[in-house]
Structure 1
């Protein structure tokens, strides 16, 4: 291998920040292999460049994110490309969430790293400094495991969008125009098996705790495995009569897949040292440089206030609105006694945000709520400082609170560090509950580690101190009713964490959720300073079943000489 050529972005590394504050991606194009792979700091820098390919998390699609292409939210800007998901504008030539090239770039860079470190032995230190020798051998082993984890992460990011994808098992020559034609798409099942195998291999060599915030750990690898297995056991990939292996399984062995999914999620619940729920729900939005025992894998962002400016309500200093949470989501939050909210209940309709699940106020800003250290009271009503007809005022009557650091004074351009949470403990309690309910119903248990019921796992999330919602009782629960409760709980607990867009697809309920009217609330301020609230339709959205799988970018189809098979409908 001559000078190694990396496809690195010219940007600051935002995903991994160490005690040494190594935050800048170094341009390594002109360094020889022996310069890079004989220096542990350089090796670390190469790996950091691979981390930089991870999804952005916050505003991952320009100034918007996939929440605004689901029934969680609406993007305030009608001209953001995210609107193509909602109006039927996605094509094989234009997809705002086309991550095909980026993820294969990440795979390529990780493979170059693995090849470069494959023959590193540190023998020069073995006799002269055994302590340094042992440390560098162990670090190199760990870094190689991190690279393998990242490969699995990039592939799963592709699989959940496109179904079966090519598995590129060599370092290709990027200057070879015909390389793509050598790698046809693999069956979905092969791709899942590939991801799971890599996660298992990486977990064996990863530490249980990261020395630096944002690095992969054993728990992260096992959590990614659990997520992949839950997806693999879901409705979308287990359709009766499916004969195309690119879109899922063609056998009838779903039960075995559900067992694997439940076991994998239970492994996270039982992990040692144990993960633990955060003391308060809102604290997850303000972790900064703090390591949380609930967070399994995260991306660290350097000090900024870009997200706060994008999401602060217009009408407040520097506020641009951005994402408008939907009435569909707000209405899903239960009353604090565990009953459903109902617009047809006069007392609830008169004061719709009183006595609700506490996660509502910690996730969404409603009319007349305080914002930014109680400096402001939100006026989302018609004619209010944050309401219509003001330009960029919320379309839905709601603003986002989750992830916003309200302690910042944006007029003084104050900044703070942030974390984007890829995986946390609550997800895997809910994933376990989902798989167990499909296997054994609300109150059944299974062999081995499957000794907690679906209902118990669900209630562990609902009743924890940070939430304190009433437990769901076993009486009257069926598999179907608990399925709905699990899905609702997942929608609430993991709101704006990048799940809903994918969940409604894998459950195959998108026609009734993404193809339904997106709602909001109309708010009128009365002369006596009271408010009148009424639900309203914000947008009638379009759904087509071909959107269950993204189109393969047409440019990639063409470059492959049609070896790559396009997804159905595109």
Structure 2
């Protein structure tokens, strides 16, 4: 049963068991000899290489106002400089090169048209995936749609325009969504491989990014991209291939793995057990030692169960102890952060926040497993695209296009998530009655549903609010006297909250920091590439 549950992981095992030379050959243009490109198995193994680039659980939220690690982060505090090299730039081009190579070599493989189309579609999905990663960070980038030789003129080409990159992404994802199997067709046997709904969902994600970014940064055609985002998200919804998983907490545990969890659209698969491991991560140790801790800003955004913010709800009472922070709140809060009684690194479980590690007082629970912590390796799959995000995309794109959203669409999207979280429904009358703002509530829902999953930084970039939120003091939990370890030196703000970084040490340059700097070495290698503004 374990073997059939993780077919793609087993395929990875076959791939990484090749010699080092063979692994290096897979993404390179020199895979031209007939001794490799001879069968469907070769084509599948070449495509499997692309899956190795899917990300493990991430601490990237420390770039934003949602999280703080063990020390200040130079992206969130504005102190970084242009690097000489960067995997964030180079790795996507490795994917692109490998995908282009598969597309060029696949016609020589003696397979049926259906098999050929399937793997070309996978390659085009991953090429789009790579350009999405580049586009979010750098904006306009060199567009390479074929394998290059040492004398290829494209090596010295300038960056393509934002529109050209987006058109290429859309083209690849449209092709992939047409020819990839549905999740039902993949079934358990091929669980973990990309499906047509993964292509639709990725298209919706990047279209929402560019649609809202162009709207709030005042350029381009926002309505075009927002319409694409809305329609792609609705196509996933209408496919009826996906639904929300019953337990929010279990989404990020072993209980949420496999085909039985229809919320997952794309996952990064890992091994099976210590005895049968192919790939693993160590996220339980990473978060236990404090690499990803929630901020007061994020925690304050979680509603009370009556659907009102803590500043408005009559049910809210100021806590007198750390565990009381979670009383009467959106259930996702307690599922996302450790509280008294939760399973932790000892049999006694979690007591009070260990401030030497969980410096904000809010240690992240997602992907933590005590047995994995003991073994110093974990095999919990990373959920990369899930149905909840698709619902949020549909709601936001609909609102930004129309300036409003119907109660029916709220019921389909936001309220489906709130029902799982034990929070009262959001309706237009509820917003009017309590003086709320619908855009703020849609954004709030996205923030808490996707907390600590690597979305917040890109959200504040596209909404053009980073210049406001990243310059505020970074605060944590209220310092409850007598509860915390007094041997840990802390700094407090005037109201008694843990102060991790004061505003005087934070900066954000809106003329520079909404794009990432190209690595210096890349500018030297390609004279046609210009550095992003003010770097």
- TM-score scaled by structure 2? 0.84
Q: Is 2:524 the counterpart of 1:555?
A: no
Query: Hey, what's the Cα distance between the residues in 1 that align with 2:386 and 2:462?
Result: 20
Kept in 1: contact 2:117–2:179 (CA 8 A): yes
Deviation at 1:179, TM superposition (A): 4.9
Kept in 1: contact 2:216–2:464 (CA 8 A): no
Kept in 2: contact 1:33–1:116 (CA 8 A): no
Residues 480 and 353 of structure 1, relative CA distance in 2, 3 Å threshold: closer
Aligned to 2:428: 474
Q: Is 2:385 the counterpart of 1:423?
A: yes
Q: Which moved more, 1:102-111 or 1:435-444?
A: 435-444
Deviation at 1:254, TM superposition (A): 2.7
In the TM superposition, what whole-angstrom CA distance separates every residue of 1:412-440 from its partner, at most 9, and x where no partner exists?
Answer: x2754221111111111111111111222
Aligned to 1:190: 164
Q: Is 2:206 the counterpart of 1:228?
A: yes
Query: Hey, what's the Cα distance between the residues in 1 that align with 2:68 and 2:7?
Result: 27
Q: Secondary structure at the match of 1:401?
A: coil
Deviation at 1:325, TM superposition (A): 1.5
Kept in 1: contact 2:253–2:366 (CA 8 A): no
Kept in 2: contact 1:324–1:398 (CA 8 A): yes
Deviation at 1:362, TM superposition (A): 0.6
Aligned to 2:125: 149
Aligned to 1:436: 398
Query: Hey, what's the Cα distance between the residues in 2 that align with 1:306 and 1:140?
Result: 36
Residues 476 and 110 of structure 1, relative CA distance in 2, 3 Å threshold: same
Q: Is 2:84 the counterpart of 1:117?
A: no
Aligned residues: 491
Deviation at 1:343, TM superposition (A): 11
Q: Is 2:47 the counterpart of 1:74?
A: no
Kept in 2: contact 1:332–1:492 (CA 8 A): yes
In the TM superposition, what whole-angstrom CA distance separates every residue of 1:517-569 from its partner, at most 9, and x where no partner exists?
Answer: 11102433549x9xxx94333213322211111111121122112x1122111
Aligned to 2:245: 278
Residues 263 and 305 of structure 1, relative CA distance in 2, 3 Å threshold: closer
Residues 41 and 553 of structure 1, relative CA distance in 2, 3 Å threshold: same
Q: Is 2:483 the counterpart of 1:483?
A: no
Kept in 1: contact 2:37–2:105 (CA 8 A): yes
Residues 102 and 176 of structure 1, relative CA distance in 2, 3 Å threshold: farther
Residues 343 and 402 of structure 1, relative CA distance in 2, 3 Å threshold: farther
Q: Secondary structure at the match of 1:110?
A: helix
Query: Hey, what's the Cα distance between the residues in 1 that align with 2:481 and 2:399?
Result: 45
Residues 150 and 39 of structure 1, relative CA distance in 2, 3 Å threshold: same
Aligned to 1:404: 368
Q: Secondary structure at the match of 1:92?
A: coil
Residues 507 and 176 of structure 1, relative CA distance in 2, 3 Å threshold: same
Deviation at 1:441, TM superposition (A): 3.6
Query: Hey, what's the Cα distance between the residues in 2 that align with 1:354 and 1:347?
Result: 9
Query: Hey, what's the Cα distance between the residues in 2 that align with 1:524 and 1:293?
Result: 41
Kept in 2: contact 1:296–1:424 (CA 8 A): yes
Aligned to 1:370: 342
Higher normalized helix content (fraction of residues): 2
In the TM superposition, what whole-angstrom CA distance separates every residue of 1:216-258 from its partner, at most 9, and x where no partner exists?
Answer: 1111111111112111211346633x4xxxxxx2xxx433332
Residues 455 and 258 of structure 1, relative CA distance in 2, 3 Å threshold: farther
Q: Is 2:205 the counterpart of 1:219?
A: no
Task: Tell me which of 464, 467, 491 is aligned to 1:508.
Answer: 464
Q: Which runs of 5+ in 1 are unaligned?
A: 1-13, 60-64, 123-133, 243-248, 313-319, 446-451
Query: Hey, what's the Cα distance between the residues in 1 that align with 2:281 and 2:207?
Result: 36
Kept in 2: contact 1:436–1:454 (CA 8 A): no
In the TM superposition, what whole-angstrom CA distance separates every residue of 1:200-227 from its partner, at most 9, and x where no partner exists?
Answer: 1111111002343321111111111111
Higher normalized strand content (fraction of residues): 1
- TM-score scaled by structure 1? 0.79
Deviation at 1:32, TM superposition (A): 6.1
Deviation at 1:115, TM superposition (A): 1.2
Aligned to 1:324: 293
Task: Tell me which of 509, 513, 522 is aligned to 1:544.
Answer: 509
RMSD: 3.1
Residues 480 and 556 of structure 1, relative CA distance in 2, 3 Å threshold: farther
Deviation at 1:58, TM superposition (A): 2.0
Query: Hey, what's the Cα distance between the residues in 2 that align with 1:327 and 1:474?
Result: 28
Q: Which runs of 5+ in 2 are unaligned?
A: 1-5, 272-276, 486-494
In the TM superposition, what whole-angstrom CA distance separates every residue of 1:186-208 from its partner, at most 9, and x where no partner exists?
Answer: 11112111101110111111100
Kept in 1: contact 2:77–2:470 (CA 8 A): no
Query: Hey, what's the Cα distance between the residues in 2 that align with 1:341 and 1:114?
Result: 54
Deviation at 1:162, TM superposition (A): 0.8
Query: Hey, what's the Cα distance between the residues in 2 that align with 1:77 and 1:223?
Result: 34
